[in-house]
Structure 1
Amino acid sequence: MDEHEQVFQMDTGDYLGDCDYIWAESERERLRRLWLHHAQQLSDFYIKNESYIAAIKVQEKVQELFADAEDNYFILMKLYELLNNSGCR
């Protein structure tokens, strides 16, 4: 689990993000999708283990990087509801 968390935290932005190479766009998009998939798996793991605060932190980072991903907002709302119902603050 610690290794997955480290990989998640190592994100430093898009591949060649400071360069505007058209040829790099497909690889940039592939890596973004791969990161997003990993983030969702990490969040799912935390939810299954009732680590709602950790799952919220993951989803907030996803929201920061993928602001147009509507399903992320829905997941965050569910997590906040679960957190309030579990008695955690």
Structure 2
Amino acid sequence: NASGPFNLTAPVPLTNREFGQVLGKVMKRPSLLPVPAFALRLLFGEMATILLDGQRAIPHRLQSLGFTFQYDTAEAALTNLLRSNS
């Protein structure tokens, strides 16, 4: 049993640029340029800060309790997600 707050994040955090590169690889498409910050701010307003600055939250408590991620990398998770939706 577990109680209290948990960081429900992937075990390996990525920057926006890294995520774009992984997504491009999984989709077999080039990832030439990251989305410019001004475009994210136009689309998402203050919420863009979450995408641009990030928190680098690591799920230490989950890991210390022995939680195992089904997909331990963004590439594995995106591959599964995109395969199941095609």
Q: Which TM bucket (shorter chain)?
A: under 0.3
Normalised to the residue count of structure 2, the TM-score between the two structures is: 0.23
Higher relative contact order structure (alpha carbons within 8 Å, sequence separation ≥ 6)? 2
Normalized per residue, the structure richer in helix is 1
TM-score of the two chains, using structure 1 as the length reference: 0.22
